[in-house]
Chains A and B, each alone.
Chain A
Amino acid sequence: MTTTVSPQQTTTTPPTTGSAELPSVAEGAGVWTTGPRGALLGLGIGAVLLLVIAPLTLGGFGLDLLGRYLCVAMVAVGIGLAWGRGGMLTMGQGVYFGLGAYIMAMHMTLADTTLEGETIPTFMRQNGVEQLPELWGIVQHPVVAVAAVILVPTGVAGLLGWAIFSRRVKGAYFAILSQALAAAFAVLIIGQPVLTNGSNGLSNFHSLFGWDLSDQANRTVLFLVVAAVLLVMLAVTWQLYRSRFGELLVAVRDQEERVRFLGYDPALIKTVAYMIAALFAAIGGALFVPVVGIISPADIGVVPSIAFLIGVAIGGRSTWLGPVLGSIAVSFAGTQLASAFPSFWVYLQGLLFILVIGFLPGGLASVLGLVRRRRSQGANDDGGQAAGSTTAPVSSEQEATR
């Protein structure tokens, strides 16, 4: 990442001096959020690592693991948008992750059943069902299934978001509401064993759109698709953050009333951001199913919904790459540490979350920002009131006051 502040960055930095409790956009501006050159570089490095180096160096198992991390990271990208930029602490992304995942799982179960010459899935037969429920029949066609993965969660989020935000529900009330939603959704799934196979969840998939999932070549392609989708999401968020919408979103987060007085509708802006976050979570969920091979209520309830947040908070929720890097790091640490110290990891995760929220609201990205600021201040002290003093010191001062 560049250490000099480019003109674009100063122009994209909105005047958010009023906010004290939330890290502003500029906090991560020079660190994880960059101009076009930096963004291209970041995406380029990501693309080389994920699309070339990972498939060449990791074995089948390692690739599956990384694929799971990337699916979870997609949810994190959405949370970064809704929570980091929009100030909506959404503790119920499991709902949208689950919707995407279950739609995909239903389609895959049905496709396998058809290929195996049966009419209804085994678990339904064992539940005494003789005819395929209509809800399942809808997603039989792959195109419909993919469309449903995109439209259903976004539609649900649109309706819910509008209902919530137009009533000006925000802050802790929104957080509690979203969490209750996740709890209710998990209970709903468990309570419908005939439709969802209850707490056992859906698993034992053999094919995806006809491709054999036990074939390593197919699995590698699947991983590449997952990685590419994540990169596209990052490109989209980068573009969003620089757009007028992105600036409005931050403005709504920091001073909702002022935005309203300026003639914008904050509810609309927040609903759109919430819908995008839901869409990313749903796509993550839909890809999670073929990669991991199972979806169960344990993956979508309150606990996983909160777990999605941890990586985002640690990485730096308002930054561009913070959520995705934080999420991948937490997933990786989880796999590594949980084997060695089972209970310890749960406590460490909780402790990290508390520490970051309490003392480092900008996440680890803000530590890098701090280091960079120190360095640039040091450079200025050495250089005295020389040539660069009109631009650089101002920007670093601005950052320091936030």
Chain B
Amino acid sequence: MSARTTVSAVLSLVAALTITGCGQRYDPQAEAAAEQVPQASCVDTSGDTVKVGLLNSLSGTMAVSETTVNRSLNMAIDEINADGGVLGKQIEPVTEDGASEPTIFAERAGKLIRQDCVAATFGGWTSASRKAMLPVFEAQNSLLFYPVQYEGLEASPNIFYSGATTNQQIIPALDWMREQGHKKIFLVGSDYVFPRTANRIINAYAQAHDMEIVGEEYVPMGSTEFSTIVNKAMASDADAVFNTLNGDSNVAFFRQYNAVGLDPETMPVMSVSIAEEEVPGIGVDNIQGQYVAWDYYQTIQTPTNDQFVANFKDRYGQNQVTSDPMEAAYTSVYLWKAMVEEAGSFDVAAVQEAVDTGEITYDAPEGEVTVDGETQHISKTPRIGQIRDDGLIDTVWEAPEPVVPDPFLETYPWADSITGA
């Protein structure tokens, strides 16, 4: 019978291949040793251009947020090109769409590195997209610049984190709330990794600092039903709410929050995922006077920021706003330029070596930032902001100096239970 012959032919072929396959067994020790040897890369720096990858979601649920990041990346590249490029070479961006799906992010990262031979890649937004790309960048030994605040507990030699880690956003926000006398905190968040990790940190912090967590509620991503949660918050007698909701859920949450008569005076809300970009979508009326925690606001008064905001508006329209992730992305391109120039080469190992000196700094719109050679995160100045009636955000508190990144919270003894140390 033909099918049977085919099956047996195919099976024997597979068996033959599996037996003769001369592949290596996996050995973590050998792997660690092999990492010293720079892997052959196909990056071509012989011409007068150098390719970099821009990997953002241009379609799907994250497109609204990530398109703005893509814009500021393009702006930074054009500015650098107009200024003579990097090591005398013009930057040639190759744009790929991550389509808001981790698997697509991993696949396109592979394409950028292996097919387009980019010297570095900028992009990613959700933690899921970063986690998906991490093994690709490590296996291919290429560099990723990730521009969004995240839940920490990660450090890869192949990833530069230009957004805040938890000790540059969540912990300063808690410090500030404690200073304001908020002792009882109600937690509300979307059901995914960032809110869950953030809330574990908040719980541990509260325990160590004589604060009380009076409620912890999660809703599925995109959920718009908050009447129960809002009523629970009201009944909990909390001093403040810590909000890690993402996206559309915020619209419904704040609307229902206000509807039951809660406001920034009676029970302020501290949000960590709402920036200038998200305010119009939520509605300024719904969120005016509430608090947020970031490292950058459009209203920051620095010469670099004035220039950054003006250029962005000239380029994309006067009604455009700039936000923390956009600024972090813009900054990451300049940091890469600084690293390459310090190294004198686009080579990954040379760049990593240059970073290890701890002397890569850039006068960013948010103020001076320094790349931490050990964790590949950057030192940033945490700021608490209050949302104005025009949708922009005023700084109501800022750290006296940039805070050194501590993604694994090693300098916070109360956090041992979280990091598994």
Contact = CB atoms under 8 A, between A and B. Distances in A.
Interface string A102-126: 0000000000100111000000011
Interface string B181-196: 0000000000111001
Contacts of B100: 298
A47 interface: yes
B11 A296 contact: no
Contacts of B108: 339
B135 A203 contact: yes
Interface residues of B, number: 64
Nearest to B21: A221
Looking at chain B's contact residues, the main secondary structure is helix
Contact of A342 (B13, B26, B58): B58
Contacts of A205: 135
Given A61-B115, A190-B191, A224-B17, A126 B3 contact: no
Given A39-B2, A128-B420, A294 B58 contact: no
B128 A125 contact: no
Interface string A233-255: 00110110000000000000000
Nearest to B2: A36
Contacts of B96: 339
A120 to B, nearest CB: 9
Contact of B28 (A65, A115, A203, A204): A115
Interface in B360-380: none
Given A190-B220, A193-B193, A232-B11, A298 B128 contact: yes
B132 A201 contact: yes
Interface string A32-67: 000011011001100100010000000111001100
Interface string B82-100: 0000000000000011011
B400 interface: no
A190 B108 CA distance: 24
Interface stretch (A142-150, A155-163, A207-215): A207-215
B231 interface: no
A100 to B, nearest CB: 15
A180 interface: no
B31 interface: yes
Looking at chain A's contact residues, the main secondary structure is helix
B307 interface: no
Given A36-B2, A68-B107, A217-B22, A199 B193 contact: yes
Contact of A47 (B10, B18, B104, B419): B10
Given A203-B106, A210-B25, A299-B103, A294 B13 contact: no
A214 B196 CA distance: 32
Contacts of B3: 36, 39, 235-236, 238-239
Given A199-B192, A204-B131, A217-B21, A225 B26 contact: no
Contacts of A37: 2
Given A40-B2, A338-B97, A198 B200 contact: no
B153 interface: yes
Interface residues of A, number: 68
A181 to B, nearest CB: 16
A125 B153 CA distance: 11
A175 interface: no
B59 A228 contact: no
B102 A342 contact: no
Contacts of B134: 203-204
Contacts of A221: 17-18, 21, 23
Nearest to B18: A221
A120 B94 CA distance: 39
A231 interface: yes
A193 B127 CA distance: 13
A292 interface: yes
Given A225-B14, A231-B6, A346-B59, A201 B128 contact: yes
Given A61-B114, A200-B131, A293 B106 contact: yes
A184 B3 CA distance: 39
Interface of A: 36-37, 39-40, 43-44, 47, 51, 59-61, 64-65, 68, 112, 115-117, 125-126, 128, 187, 190-191, 193, 197-201, 203-207, 210-215, 217-218, 220-221, 224-225, 228, 231-232, 235-236, 238-239, 292-296, 298-299, 335, 338-339, 342-343, 345-346
28 contacts: A40-B6, A64-B110, A68-B107, A126-B418, A126-B420, A128-B420, A199-B221, A201-B132, A205-B135, A206-B31, A211-B26, A213-B26, A221-B17, A224-B14, A228-B11, A232-B10, A235-B3, A236-B7, A239-B3, A292-B103, A295-B103, A298-B102, A298-B128, A299-B101, A299-B102, A338-B59, A343-B58, A346-B59
Given A212-B25, A293-B136, 8 more contacts: A43-B6, A115-B26, A199-B126, A203-B102, A214-B139, A235-B6, A293-B135, A343-B58
Closest 8 CB pairs of A and B: A207-B26, A218-B23, A125-B420, A342-B97, A342-B58, A61-B114, A212-B26, A36-B2
